[in-house]
Amino acid sequence: MKIAIGSDHAGFAYKEEIKLFLNRNHHEYIDFGTKTIDSTDYPLYAIKVGQAVSNKDADLGILICGTGIGMSIAANKVKGIRAAACQTAVCAQATREHNNANVLCVGSRTNTMDEVLELVELFITTPYSNGERHQKRVELIKKYEEEQK
């Protein structure tokens, strides 16, 4: 599995830990920054990670900011991206199973590092359930997206 990963300053320390976790679990990653704890703007990284997933340069994306919310708002502007801001294991699992989410957004101010690593593991290891009702709903989102200019 190849993962596109990015964070702003608020998520930088978590990003570095998640990279170690990915290494331990033999996943490849592409790090789109940020590279320091200097204040920066989360949409820059959300859009880069979203594009990498949308272009199939990566299988899934992970984004970290203070809450995960800004990252999810920005990443969802990229065509083909279904980014989910998750704070609980139930959400991280269900968004793969039901929504076929392709980007996980988490917050360094809302969850501990251990909690975030659990969310990452669930997100990466849970398959899309691909049932008829879930696919119909994902297709409705895709149809709307394709109708836009």
Residues assigned a catalytic role: 65, 98
Q: How many degrees, rounded to 5, is the angle at CA 70 between CA 91 and CA 80? A: 70
Q: How far is the CB of 95 from ligand RB5 (least distance, A)?
A: 18
* Binding residues vs ligand RB5 (CB under 6 A): 8, 10, 42, 65-67, 69-70
Nearest CB to ligand RB5, comparing residues 59 and 115: 115
Q: CA torsion, points 132, 134, 137, 141, in degrees to nearest 10?
A: -120
How far apart CA 136 and CA 139 sit, in angstroms, is 5
Nearest to 107 by CA among 12, 1, 23: 12
Nearest CB to ligand RB5, comparing residues 109 and 142: 109
Q: How far is the CB of 65 from ligand RB5 (least distance, A)?
A: 3
Nearest CB to ligand RB5, comparing residues 61 and 70: 70
Q: Give the DSSP letter of residue 83.
A: E
Q: How far is the CB of 133 from ligand RB5 (least distance, A)?
A: 31
- Position of minimal CB gap to ligand RB5: 70
